[in-house]
Chain A
Amino acid sequence: MTVKNFKKVLVANRGEIAIRVMRACRKMGIETVAVYSEADRDALHVRYADEAYFIGPPAPADSYLRIDKIVEVAVKSGCDAVHPGYGFLAENSEFVKACEAAGITFIGPNTESMYILGDKTRSRQKMIEAGVPVVPGTKDPVESLEEALKVAEEIGYPIMFKASAGGGGKGMRLISSAEEFKQVYDLAKGEALSAFGDDRMYIEKAIIKPRHVEIQIAVDKHGNAVHFYERECSIQRRHQKVIEESPSMAINDEVRHKMGEAAIKAVKAANYDSVGTVEFLVDKDMNFYFLEVNTRIQVEHPVTEMVTGIDLIKLQIEIAEGKPIPFKQEDIKQVGHAIECRIYAEDPDNNFMPSPGEVTGLRLPGGPGVRVDSGIYSRGNVPLYYDPIVAKLIVWDVNRECAINRMQRALSEFVVKGIKTTIPFHQRVLRNENFRKGNISTDFIDKEVLPEKPTREGSAEAALAAAAIKEYLREQELRNQYQRFVETCAGGSPWKEAGRRAAMFGVSFGDVYKYST
């Protein structure tokens, strides 16, 4: 095994993860190359990188998903390696092959393991062979609605309808009845096709009140494998994680140990050689079932970094360089408690509608134990073409209660203006009693009625006072504008003048009369 030292790495991604990867590279003395679409000329990752190259129009299919263009930039700019981040080409074996053909190292697993683990039906079969517990369901994608209904009937509702090429919760639906299945069948396949270019779907039995617990692993090219314990990712909306933490309250040390062993067994069965994550569903009796392997760095990797103190992206790069993992399983300790809140550009008070646009103001939280991984800046733009994650807020403290309190403090400091974000939603979740007690499952957000009551006494009065003062100041400003206008205006018909003033200030005749008296 030849060991290389990368000199220059192309980051085939955007947003916070591109910056996170570049930070690791900069720390390692590796130069970075960014790629960007038309929508991203002013994006932060472009400014952070040592070099940046344009790759095409805003739609991902025409830019960030263009294997040929990205490989061409990597070759021309003299890169030794490409880091894919998450999403886009991160789990695309064709991209890995194209990199290899161009003599560029792909920072991620080999194509064989990606082929096995990248497809849910294939990986499921592999896990059954390896003796890793799996959830009952179909081995192959279903071909038609009729077949899907038949299979669902056999397994028994509720079922999960999942995209074979899926990930990140897209194209995945919980279905409770045949009637509901008929309604969402085409929509779910349409989403899968749009997100992954592949509408094959399969069916799995839904585990009721499940917890989503996953194990972060790393395997080097010398056969060494370690795990970094678990992350609890049960707080999800539309099957997309929104809050993650480590450790999980759903398991005890014995189960934690068993899951770690099962995770390593799973990736070794697929001849894996990078960092990755083995996802499990855990039921109320702490039985765990294999879900899938994410063959990439994940959004929520910082919570593991915070409790283990290990830079996972640096490790991922070192493994790609051919270096052995520089520590053993017994050296990895899980210390304290970390929580991550994903800050999405969505309006939680309007059914989580996407909220792209210009960030007109930004204040990031700080203080002890607080980390922000972000791709936004004041006066920067959040384009409508990409994932809505604009930042991740991660905190660490000695135990879960302290970490929750610290997160509440950090969220209250976090201000993003111009676009709506999920910060208020996180504040409501974090003060929810069941969340604080750890009584959560993957349907927490859908089922739990989040409290509408204000956090502090006098909160409503403060809001009323703020709105009234703002209205008062708005009127004062109009009055001042009017006065300035009058001073620069001479004579003419009073009616005509009032009309002009009303039009100019966007106010009514009545208001003009009011401000002039």
Chain B
Amino acid sequence: MYIATLDNVEYKISVKEIEPDKFEVVIDDKSYIVDAQLTESSVYSLIINGKSYEVNLDYKDGIYHVYNEGDLFKIEVMDELKKRMLEKRGGAGGLEGAYTIKSEMPGKIVDVKVKEGDEVKEGDVVIILEAMKMQNEIKSPKDGKITEVFVQKDDVIEADAKLVTVE
């Protein structure tokens, strides 16, 4: 049994393979027979009760990103047991304590707006990163003090590179 979380709503889902590429999926007591074929690069063709869907599915940081006709569904799927255990441990802890902002994309550092010791408010611009000819403002996700700056002007960075730590 899985617990799937979509838009803060939890769904209990069970999956049973009844024949190759054919599944019985029960979502909150409602049963669906799903014919699921993986086509090119994680594009799924689904036939559910005769209706055909083509969904584009990516997996990132434990979240399934499912695109269907322009709609994005961000779904966390977890084994029920694991989910309950994590909840007992108190979850991930949000943005308490030191938080290191990482770049979501590769690019060039155009400006570093902060230095170590600076106080920042949530939403303050800390870095300006240029990628694909657009300047993107990277903002602090919380109030705090800058304890570390990992980049300087003109650095070319990869995606996921550390930028600054706010504590």
Interfacial residues, chain A to chain B (CB-CB below 8 A): 170, 187, 190-191, 194-195, 238, 345-346, 349-350, 353-357, 360-361, 363, 384-388, 411-412, 415, 417-418, 423-428, 431, 452, 454-456, 458-472, 510
B95 beta carbon closer than 8 Å to chain A: no
Contact across chains for A459 and B69 when beta carbons are under 8 A apart: yes
Whether B13 lies near A464 (C-beta < 8 A) is: yes
Q: Is A463 a contact partner of B73 (Cβ separation < 8 A)?
A: yes
Instruction: Note all chain A residues with C-beta closer than 8 A to B53.
Output: 456, 458-459, 462, 466
Decide if A354 touches B68 in the complex (CB within 8 Å). Answer: no
29 contacts across the A-B interface (CB closer than 8 A): A170-B133, A194-B110, A195-B133, A354-B107, A363-B40, A363-B43, A417-B41, A417-B43, A417-B56, A428-B70, A431-B70, A455-B68, A456-B69, A458-B48, A459-B68, A461-B48, A462-B46, A463-B66, A465-B23, A465-B25, A466-B36, A469-B25, A469-B34, A469-B36, A470-B59, A470-B64, A470-B77, A472-B15, A472-B23
Q: How far is the CA of A431 from the CA of B11 in the complex (A)?
A: 28
Question: B132 CB to closest chain A CB, in angstroms?
Answer: 4
Q: Are B25 and A355 in contact (CB under 8 A)?
A: no
Of the candidates A191, A353, A452, A458, the one whose C-beta lies within 8 Å of that of B105 is A353
Q: Are B132 and A386 in contact (CB under 8 A)?
A: yes
User: Which residue from B57, B104, B132, B135 sits with its C-beta under 8 Å from A187?
Assistant: B135
Complex interface: chain A residues within 8 A of B136 (CB): 353-354
Given contacts A465-B25, A467-B66, A510-B82, 5 further A-B contacts (CB under 8 A): A354-B134, A426-B70, A456-B51, A465-B27, A472-B23
Is B167 an interface position by the 8 A CB rule?
no
Contact of B133 with A465 in the complex, beta carbons under 8 Å: no
Q: Do A417 and B42 form a contact, CB below 8 Å, given A465-B48, A469-B15, A469-B34? A: yes
Q: Is the C-beta of B55 less than 8 angstroms from some C-beta in chain A?
A: yes
B106 within 8 A of A: yes
Q: Is the CB of A463 within 8 A of B107?
A: no
Residue interface bits B55-83, CB-to-A below 8 A is 1, else 0: 11101000010111111110101000010
Let me know if B70 and A464 touch, CB within 8 A: no
Expressed in whole angstroms, the minimum distance between the Cβ of B155 and any Cβ of chain A is 13
Q: Which residue of A lies closest to B65 (CB)?
A: A349
A411 to B11: give the CA distance in the assembly, Å.
30
Report how far A194 CA is from B68 CA in the complex, Å. Answer: 38
Cα A170 to Cα B15 in complex, Å, equals 50
Could you say which of A187, A349, A384, A465 contacts B46, with CB atoms under 8 Å apart?
A: A465
Please indicate the chain B residues that have their CB under 8 angstroms from the CB of A467 in the complex: 4, 57, 64, 66, 73, 75, 77
Task: Determine the chain B residues whose CB is within 8 A of the CB of A357 once the complex forms.
Answer: 159
B44 contacts chain A at the CB level, 8 A cutoff: yes
B23-43: CB near A (< 8 Å → 1, else 0) gives 101010010101010001111
B25-A361 in contact (CB<8A): no
Min CB–CB distance B26 → chain A (angstroms): 10
Give the residues in chain B near A470, CB-CB below 8 Å.
Answer: 44, 57, 59, 64, 77
Bound state CA distance, A187 and B125, in angstroms?
12
Write the chain B residue with the least CB distance to A344: B132
Q: Please indicate the chain B residues that have their CB under 8 angstroms from the CB of A353 in the complex.
A: 104-105, 136
Min C-beta distance of A413 to chain B, whole Å: 9
Q: Which B residues form the contact surface with A (CB < 8 A)?
A: 2, 4, 6, 11, 13, 15, 17, 23, 25, 27, 30, 32, 34, 36, 40-44, 46, 48, 51, 53-57, 59, 64, 66-73, 75, 77, 82, 104-107, 110-111, 128, 130-136, 159
Cβ-defined contact, A412 with B54, below 8 A: yes
Q: CB distance B55 to A462 under 8 Å?
A: yes
**Distance in Å from the Cβ of B87 to the closest Cβ of chain A?**
15
When the two chains form their complex, are residues A455 and B70 in contact, meaning their CB atoms are under 8 A apart? yes
Query: Which chain A residues border B128 with CB–CB below 8 Å?
Result: 187
Given contacts A356-B132, A423-B70, A466-B57, contact A415 B13 (CB under 8 A): no
Enumerate chain A residues within 8 angstroms of B40, measured Cβ to Cβ.
361, 363, 415, 417
Minimum distance in angstroms from B97 CB to a CB of chain A: 24
Q: For residue B131, which residues in chain A have a CB less than 8 angstroms away from its CB?
A: 354, 356, 384
- Give Cα A170–Cα B53 distance, bound, in whole angstroms: 39
Contacts of B41 in A (CB 8 A): 360-361, 415, 417-418
A411 touches B43 (CB 8 A): no
Q: Determine how close the nearest CB of chain A comes to the CB of B38; give it in whole angstroms.
A: 8
Q: Which residues on A sit within 8 Å (CB–CB) of B110?
A: 190, 194
Q: Tell me, in angstroms, the Cα distance from A503 to B46 when the chains sit together.
A: 34
Q: A187-B135, A412-B54, A417-B40 are in contact. Are A468 and B15 (CB under 8 A)?
A: yes
Compute how far the CA of A442 lies from the CA of B66 in the bound complex, rounded to whole angstroms. 30
Cα distance A170–B104 in the bound complex, in angstroms: 22
In the complex, the answer to whether A384 meets B134 with C-beta atoms within 8 Å is no
Most chain B beta-carbon neighbours within 10 Å: one of A190, A195, A386, A472: A472
Contact A468 B25 (CB under 8 A): yes
Assembled-state Cα–Cα distance A191/B134 (Å): 8
| A502 smallest CB distance to B (angstroms) | 14
